[in-house]
Amino acid sequence: MGRGYSTEDIREKLILILKDSNSGMSGVEISEKVNINRITMIKYLKVFAAEGLLRQKNIGNVTLWFLEPGQESFVFPDDYFKVTSRYAEYLIKGTEDQVYSLIRNCLHSGAIITRLIIEVILPAIDSVKNLYDEGKIGTSELNLLQTTISKSLQIFNQLRVVSEPKKNIIVLAADAQSNLISEASSSSYHSNGWNVFHLGDMSSAINVLFDLDFQKLVGKIWKQKLGILIVVVFSQTGQGLNFFADSINPIKEKSGKRMKLVLCGKISKKSKIQSDLTSEKIEDILQWSQTVFENLK
């Protein structure tokens, strides 16, 4: 940090300084404008280049720095609403590069990943589904848009996070329609330091042998039973939730109180399905998971 500036302050100043510079600027010029020691500034420039904010070009003995196209600075929490509408616009009417640049700009501006997922990504998933249900887009475009959203989530997963060995979670979808939401949930857990095992769409595994197969997996990834293991099942139907709950609950009982089952989806009030938590809201599941972990310390 230079002269009392935070990393976010320096990033914002760089964007303002370089956004209209077609010929680039040297490290010396930038350090003078930002009012930071040249050596310290060079360190920041290299970090920002690694993050994708800047690119450099060597001309003789001079290194020029350029702002990567599409860079923008946001102020959070005020700009979450702005990003929500812009993400949907870029997704449906823009290009993939605009979508990914927007996500990276949010991260560069200090956005909280869980809030981006809940306030930006999840509404976009619903919007795309509504467009398909209303006949405004076809299957091909639906798959294309969902793939773009999935790649947005992968940006979060690529960030280095120090995981807590005692926070373990298995996330699965009971059907293809729930897979993208399960991906979003996994990305949020990852950003919060959980060891995430995302199984994706497990509809093809709905058979009499699933419980044996799943028990082997639990034994492999939670061999020493450190901390807690939470299994989260997403499903669009009560049948899907029922099947996986019936298969996983006996394994949970054998594994002890530190293994939990969470179901995400609609369940009839008359249903006798057993779980530690049932909710339709990802934010509730995330908060509950963290609370349960803290109570086990």
CA–CA distance, 183 with 282 (Å, rounded to integer):
11
What's the pLDDT at 1?
42
| Residue in the block written with tokens 């929490």 | 77
CATH architecture of 167-295: 3-Layer(aba) Sandwich (3.40)
What's the pLDDT at 281?
94
**What per-residue string of b and e applies to 193-209 under the rule 16 or more CB within 10 Å gives b?**
ebbbbbbebbbebeeee
CATH architecture of 7-67: Orthogonal Bundle (1.10)
pTM score over 0.75: yes
CA–CA distance, 248 with 219 (Å, rounded to integer):
13
Taking only the tens of pLDDT, the chain with its 297 residues reads 445 677 778 888 888 888 878 889 999 999 999 889 999 999 999 988 887 788 899 988 889 999 887 778 888 999 999 999 999 999 999 999 899 999 988 998 889 999 999 999 999 999 999 999 999 999 999 999 999 999 999 999 998 899 999 999 999 999 999 999 999 999 999 999 999 999 999 999 999 999 999 999 999 999 989 999 999 999 999 999 999 999 999 999 999 999 999 999 988 777 789 999 999 999 999 999 999 999 986
What's the pLDDT at 19?
81
What's the pLDDT at 3?
54
What's the pLDDT at 236?
94
What's the pLDDT at 266?
84
Instruction: Please spell the DSSP secondary structure of the chain, one letter per residue.
Output: --TT--HHHHHHHHHHHHTT-SS-EEHHHHHHHHT--HHHHHHHHHHHHHHTSEEEEEETTEEEEEEPTT-----TTTTHHHHHHHHHHHHHHS-HHHHHHHHHHHHHTT--HHHHIIIIIHHHHHHHHHHHHTTSS-HHHHHHHHHHHHHHHHHHHTS-----TTEEEEEEESSGGGHHHHHHHHHHHHHTT-EEEEEEE-GGG-STTHHHHHHHHHHHHTTT--SEEEEEEE-SSHHHHHHHHHHHHHHHHHH-TTEEEEEES---TT-----SEEES-HHHHHHHHHHHHHHT-
Q: Which residues in the chain are classed under CATH 3.40.50.280? A: 167-295
In single-letter form, the type of residue at position 106 comes to C
Helix axes 80-93 and 96-108, enclosed angle (nearest 10): 160
Cα 192 to Cα 162, 181, 222, 287, distances in angstroms? 9, 17, 19, 11
Q: Which residues in the chain are classed under CATH 1.10.10.10? A: 7-67
User: Which residues have C-beta within 8 Å of that of residue 217, sequence separation ≥ 6?
Assistant: 170, 197
Homologous superfamily, domain 80-157:
Methionine synthase domain (1.10.1240.10)
